[in-house]
């Protein structure tokens, strides 16, 4: 599938002068048949903190899509989310887990029969989510938050889903940062008292 986001990557020539290494459509676009009309592209990934900076670098985005950034890493991703269909709202817990399994994080799915939304999930990340264009609803365990163009969410490892109820496509920017649950939160989730 052709890219949909222009990505300019800078670097250094052999004299240390700033240059453009690549300029074109971001090559790694992912889709999933369970979410027709949804596509996302990983713009860049890092695999350490602090991030080693080289003069040039091999593109870190190809390969299987992962929901979670690498350990001590980050991902910047832009997604287009189609209006939510009846098909999405009627996914079974098994189908929801299959969606997350395709992103190499089946355990992120928190949806059970009678649950709030099939795309409910939790990751050990801090996510900066920016609505670039459109309107979307952030679902948490017991509340909905309506978001519009320009709104920013700081998602801190919470159980959540994104629901496009607007009738129009939405474009989102996500910056995912690897994290770890504090021991008291991790204990709640293991005990099953946290969603």
Which tens digits make up the pLDDT trace of 46-59?
999 999 898 888 89
Confidence check: pLDDT of 193 > 90: no
Instruction: Please count the structural domains in the chain.
Output: 1
Residue 8 in domain: no
Q: Stretch 24-48: mean pLDDT, rounded?
A: 90
Residue 72 in domain: yes
C-alpha 161/C-alpha 31 separation (Å) is 17
Residue 100 in domain: yes
Q: Find the CATH number of the domain harbouring 38.
A: 2.60.120.10
Residue 15 in domain: no
Residue 18 in domain: no
| Domain coverage including residue 88 | 29-191
The predicted model scores a pTM of: 0.89
Q: Which of 175, 172, 178 is nearest to 75 (CA)?
A: 175
Residue 7 in domain: no
pLDDT at residue 34, as a whole number: 78
Question: C-alpha distances in angstroms, 54 versus 12, 13, 28, 49, 136?
Answer: 8, 10, 22, 14, 38
152: left (phi over 0), alpha (psi -120 to 50) or beta: beta
DSSP letter for 22, please: E
Q: How many residues comprise the chain?
A: 195
Confidence check: pLDDT of 77 > 60: yes
């Amino acid at each position: 599938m052709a890219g949909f986001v222009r990505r300019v990557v800078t670097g250094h020539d052999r004299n240390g002068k700033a240059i453009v290494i690549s300029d074109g459509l971001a090559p790694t676009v992912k889709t999933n048949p369970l979410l027709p009309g949804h596509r996302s592209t990983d713009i860049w990934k890092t695999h350490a903190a602090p991030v080693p900076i080289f003069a040039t670098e091999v593109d870190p985005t190809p390969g299987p899509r992962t929901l979670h950034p690498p350990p001590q890493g980050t991902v910047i991703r832009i997604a287009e989310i189609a209006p939510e269909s009846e098909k999405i709202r009627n996914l079974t817990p098994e189908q929801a887990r299959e969606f997350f399994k395709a992103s190499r994080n089946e355990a992120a799915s928190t949806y059970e029969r009678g649950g709030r939304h099939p795309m409910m999930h939790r990751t050990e990340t801090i996510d900066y989510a920016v609505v670039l264009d459109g309107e979307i609803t952030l679902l948490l365990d017991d509340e909905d938050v309506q978001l519009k163009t320009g709104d920013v969410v700081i998602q801190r490892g919470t159980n959540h889903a994104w629901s496009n109820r607007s009738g129009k496509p939405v474009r989102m920017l996500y910056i995912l940062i690897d994290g770890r649950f504090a021991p008291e939160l991790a204990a709640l989730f293991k005990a099953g008292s946290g969603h």
